[in-house]
Amino acid sequence: MLRTDVRIPPEPTMTQVTRAARLQYVCSGCGVTALRWQGRCDGCGAWNTLGEGVAVSSAARRPHAALAAVAQPLNRVGDGSGQRTPTGIAELDRVLGGGVVAGSLILLGGDPGIGKSTLALQLAARVGTAGRPALYCAGEESAVQVAMRAERLGCRLPSVAVLAETDLDAVAQAIEMARPPLAVVDSVQTLSAPDAAGAPGSPAHVREGVARLLTVAKQTGVPIVLVGHVTKEGAIAGPRTLEHMVDVVLYLEGERHGEHRLLRGVKNRFGSTGELGLFTMEGGGLRQLDAPGRAFLDENSLSVPGNVLTVTCEGTRPLVVEIQALVAPTSFGLPRRTSSGFDLGRLHLILAVLERRAGIPLGQADVFLNVVGGVRLADPAVDLGVAMALAGAARDRVVPRDTVVLGEVGLGGEVRRASRLDARLGEAAALGQVAAVVPDGGRAPAGAGLRVHRVSSVSAALAVLQSG
């Protein structure tokens, strides 16, 4: 991408100024720079137009001209800490890495109806002020609809200005002119790019829209939140290329008809990724869940075979979650395997391990797996919990509800170590669990008062749970 702004470090030393000037020759005709003097300009082909200079002035004259950037020594570059604005929504700040960074492009993805517009509007109302309102560009709804939602959320305030617009040029200009503290573009699929072929929502429109807004964000320093629908394949707007173009990618997950919503940071150029923010969806909007505690356990769930508690670690946060498995004989044709909240390929792998390494026949069984609360488990340490749920369901054996099971399962049936074991066990103990089945090897965990069984294989875990 072409750089159009060139920052000179504050109070440059004489050598820097002269070096910067000596390094650059700027064409007086088109503003293109060259590192060495030459008779003919590479940009416009004119003769004798190159002169010594600092590129900033020509950038102002020709905003799209190519420029040579001036590099800064690392120790002279600011740490950017002054550019981060906390949103005041702690769960959102946790995922963002402390707040919204000036000039960042944030992609907020999720299934339709999950609450993306709600979260974006609540965020805008928090960041904007009456004197400097946040800009909410609504492409899917009219201004009246946005105002009605704001009324319901209790944020129909002067701190948000709404613009019902889908034209990319109009949206970009509105941001450039208003320079709001935050802009929301809802959604990226409704943006209509002037030069792109096809209909809005097609990859060409979406990509051009994101590229343009990226430039706007970087030039104006306005953080822009792009709302994007997730397609059936799970990628925002089809092309995954979008994720590479933006600074931060957040996904809002959960069961649409359930009350919990999880905000997951899958990419963050300004903080750690994998962090999870927890919310509940209520009539008045998304409310943060300060202590998740038992949110991902089904209190009505019975001590039936197939229900097992495990501890996942999402980012830095341990969460006790319940896994439910049902195994039933296949009555017709091929066995069915369905999974909600857990990767289907990984389920197949664990089924094969159970069959081949623990002698549990599952080849002619339908298998259904569900993770309570709509959380999608990506942490491999929940494997053993899944394996024990499946084995319990297949053999009709109950795993006690006061026991958590965790560890990664390998192809040989071995149980591998889990990260942050002490934090996981601490969380389990805080929720009243009394026992844990954990991977063997490495340092013994502190245990947090739990009865800890250390196992090195799936069969060993089965033996522990069946004897207890």
Ligand X SMILES: Nc1ncnc2c1ncn2[C@@H]1O[C@H](COP(=O)(O)OP(=O)(O)O)[C@@H](O)[C@H]1O
Which residues in this chain contact ligand X in the complex, by CB under 6 A?
A: 110, 112-118, 152, 281, 283
How many residues form the binding site for Mg ion (CB under 5 A)? 1
Task: Select 264 or 454, whichever has its Cβ closest to ligand X.
Answer: 264
Are 92 and 106 spatial neighbours (Cβ–Cβ below 8 Å)? no
Whole-angstrom distance, CA of residue 242 vs CA of residue 363 = 40
Is position 4 an interface residue for Mg ion (rule: CB under 5 A)? no
> By C-alpha distance, which of 115, 122, 127 is closest to 156?
122
CB of 229 to Mg ion, least distance (A): 8
Phi first, then psi: what are they for 178, rounded to 5°? -80, -25
Stretch in the footprint of Mg ion (CB under 5 A) among 116-124, 215-223, 303-311, 336-344: 116-124
From residue 259 to residue 278, the character string flagging contacts with Mg ion as x (rule: CB under 5 A) and all else as - is --------------------
Task: Select 110 or 209, whichever has its Cβ closest to ligand X.
Answer: 110
CB of 203 to ligand X, least distance (A): 21
> By C-alpha distance, which of 119, 336, 361, 102 is closest to 219?
102
Does 187 sit behind a cis peptide bond, omega within 30 degrees of 0 on the bond before it? Answer: yes
CB of 141 to Mg ion, least distance (A): 7
Among 4, 49, 117, 166, binds Mg ion (CB under 5 A): 117
Is position 403 an interface residue for Mg ion (rule: CB under 5 A)? no
Residue 15 is inside which H or E element, if any? Answer: helix 14-23
Spatial neighbors of 160 by CB under 8 A, at least 6 apart, are 121, 124, 125, 128, 133, 134, 135, 136, 150
Task: Select 138 or 428, whichever has its Cβ closest to ligand X.
Answer: 138
Whole-angstrom distance, CA of residue 438 vs CA of residue 384 = 9
Structure tokens at 446: 């502190």
CA dihedral 45, 46, 48, 49 (to 10 degrees): -100
> By C-alpha distance, which of 429, 467, 459 is closest to 445?
429
Task: Select 255 or 355, whichever has its Cβ closest to ligand X.
Answer: 255
CB of 281 to ligand X, least distance (A): 5
Task: Select 281 or 382, whichever has its Cβ closest to ligand X.
Answer: 281
Cβ-closest position to Mg ion:
117
Is position 122 an interface residue for Mg ion (rule: CB under 5 A)? no
Task: Select 50 or 281, whichever has its Cβ closest to ligand X.
Answer: 281
Whole-angstrom distance, CA of residue 172 vs CA of residue 222 = 11
Q: Which does 110 bind (CB under 5 to 8 A by kind): ligand X, Mg ion, none?
A: ligand X
Task: Select 99 or 115, whichever has its Cβ closest to ligand X.
Answer: 115
Which residues make up the interface to Mg ion (CB under 5 A)?
A: 117
